[in-house]
Amino acid sequence: MREEIRKELELFGFGPSVLQAALRQLPKKMWCYQPRSDRWSIHDIVIHLADAEANAYIRCRGFIAEPGNAVPEFDSGRWRQSLGYFNQSVREALDIIIHLRKATHKLLCALPDHTWENNVTHPRLGTITLKRWMTIQERHIPHHIEHMRENYNSWSKLHPARKPAAVPEFSRSESIAPVALAID
């Protein structure tokens, strides 16, 4: 079983590093930009990813310790609205993502093969195995990086890069005479 999911498990573990690399490519001055009222800013997305990672941390353990149980709904829109994402720290959210993903990845790597077939009842997906859940989770960060890139593309159309200031050219008659410095 583990060999079947080795690649997804490896990608799952790299998620926070991929997110950090993507954020380094995006100017911080546009992280609060929202292309439309129904779209999230990059800042909102990072905070959402921290909340989602905290939920994933608990859900993963539920698959292992309490298979067959139902897991609660995670309404990300309500979380964003209720928790004041704008006032939360992206740096702290990144720390949460890094630490929780590392702990979850370490746990998943140590599981016996039969555990991957454990299942829970998900509010939207129905009965889902740990294997399928991990594959979905592995794609969560890259999915949101695509939204970040879309935000950047939209923002860059409204804020084109400035051209460097032109260096004035002087004709011979306008040339600047060297300044003599008096040294005492």
H or E element at residue 134: helix 130-158
Q: How confident is the model at residue 175 (pLDDT cuts 50, 70, 90)?
A: very low
The tens digit of pLDDT for each residue in 37-87 reads 889 999 999 999 999 999 999 999 999 999 999 998 888 989 888 898 889
Q: Give the count of alpha carbons within 13 A of 31, CB side only.
A: 19
- Note whether residue 153 is domain-resident: yes
- Note whether residue 157 is domain-resident: yes
The residues that bridge with 128 in the sheet, in sequence order, are 120
- Note whether residue 47 is domain-resident: yes
- What is the residue range of 125's domain? 2-162
Residue 61: give its domain's CATH number: 1.20.120.450
- pLDDT above 70 for 16: yes
The tens digit of pLDDT for each residue in 63-74 reads 999 999 999 888
- Note whether residue 175 is domain-resident: no
Of the two residues 86 and 147, the one the predictor is more confident about is 147
The tens digit of pLDDT for each residue in 86-132 reads 899 999 999 999 999 999 999 999 999 999 999 999 999 999 999 99
The structural domain count of the chain equals 1
Q: Residue 86: what pLDDT?
A: 87
- Note whether residue 184 is domain-resident: no
What is the pTM (predicted TM-score) of this model? 0.85
- Note whether residue 173 is domain-resident: no
- pLDDT above 50 for 4: yes
- Note whether residue 79 is domain-resident: yes
The count of other CB atoms within 10 Å of the CB of residue 74 is: 17
DSSP state of 66: S
- Note whether residue 110 is domain-resident: yes
Of the two residues 36 and 178, the one the predictor is more confident about is 36
Q: Which of 111, 131, 128, 112 is nearest to 120 (CA)?
A: 128
